Amino acid sequence: MSQGSPRDGFFRHVAQTSDAPLGLEITDADGVFLRTRDGREIIDFISGIAVSSLGHGHPEVVRAVQEQAARHMHVMVYGEFIQRPQSALAARLASLLPDTLDRIYFVNSGTEANEAALKLAKKHTRRHRFVAFRNGYHGDTQGSLSVTGRDVYRTPYEPLLPDVTFCDFNDPAVKELITGDVAAVILEPIQGEGGIIASDPHWLAAVRKRCTETGTLLIFDEIQSGFGRTGRLFAFEHYGIVPDILTMAKAMGGGMPLGGLASSSDIFRAFMFDPPLSHVTTFGGHPVSCAAAEAALRVLMRDGLMERAPEIERKAREILCGKGIVEVRGRGAMLGLQLTDAETTRKVVTHCLEKHGILLGWTLHSNTLVRLAPPLIIDQTLLEQTLLTIRDAVSRVAEDL
């Protein structure tokens, strides 16, 4: 029996997550461009949701994937065999992180990284409570969803994990909630899905101080903000504050699925004993993904691509102003364009894609915010042209409403 076209297979047999997927049939992608079956060329101005920071198909990443796939792919569950791509990537990351983050545990995704971080915090501290923040987002599995502070995601799946207390982001009252029975505080230094909200430096320092006083671990979720998106390798470097556990994913793999968490040798000992193998993963740290990640990290650091992030922010703030635009917020190439209302936002995103081939980030759950996260490799001319087109689209839609 004929299998039909890719489009037919997608709509008939791929499980859907919304009743109105974009449905673009992608044939190939390179640099900042996606190409579709019907011949359209689309500017990926969200980098596959902050994944493709080096653009699509960077030749050094592709070569690393090909060479490692030719050597070996999966050979044993994570943590049992010595595999060069894992060891090399862990050593390289540790050399770029503070001394207290000297070990890396590799997983497959950001959600898995946060799941592992929560388990590690509980086992190390022998406590069970968590403090998290409203509008924070940490993933969709049961554990990560339990510390996600958005009812629209949580309510359909309750009851979730007990003993999670939520506080408003940047609210000094959180200090009263961080007590000696709290295993960990988990937060995004810059909230992503919650609206691109940066933490206040003095507030974050106070949270760090209170965690230290109470023996509570501080987990920074840098799934979206990591690997150069804000102008530093990780956003916490802007604040001069080091977490006890750092979670990462998205841009980490250079386009391949990979996540990880960094912490100290002392904290990671909790996974080794009582019992051993108390947190395991079959495909975590896949050698092909690790080879891609090592290549991506090498390119990021060697070519000074993180230095592009502040310039992207500067241009966005300079150009994106006028009718219909409330503000631009965020840091580096992790930006949010706040518009006046949901209808304007929907029409702007649709207009930019259909009329100008610009793919922007927008969800029903942040319905007045356009997320901007272009690849760090985008050239200056294309960046300016794209921003001008977005500005003009907002103005046009605002005038029509």
Coil, strand or helix at 138: coil
pLDDT in tens, the chain (401 residues): 457 899 999 999 999 988 888 899 999 999 999 999 999 999 999 999 999 999 999 999 999 999 999 999 999 998 899 999 999 999 999 999 999 999 999 999 999 999 999 999 999 999 999 999 999 999 999 999 999 999 999 999 999 999 999 999 999 999 999 999 999 999 999 999 999 999 999 999 999 999 999 999 999 999 999 999 999 999 999 999 999 999 999 999 999 999 999 999 999 999 999 999 889 999 999 999 999 999 999 999 999 999 999 999 999 999 999 999 999 999 999 999 999 999 999 999 999 999 999 999 886 667 899 999 999 999 999 999 999 999 999 999 988 86
Longest dimension (CA), the chain: 66
What is residue 400's predicted lDDT score, i.e. its pLDDT?
81
For 358, phi then psi, to 5°, come to: -115, 120
DSSP conformation class of 39:
S
| pTM for this model (two decimals) | 0.96
DSSP conformation class of 361:
B
What is residue 1's predicted lDDT score, i.e. its pLDDT?
41
Block residue for tokens 């319905």: 367
β-sheet bridge partners, residue 325: 339
What is residue 132's predicted lDDT score, i.e. its pLDDT?
98
Domains of the chain and CATH, by start:
6-57+304-400 (3.90.1150.10), 72-302 (3.40.640.10)
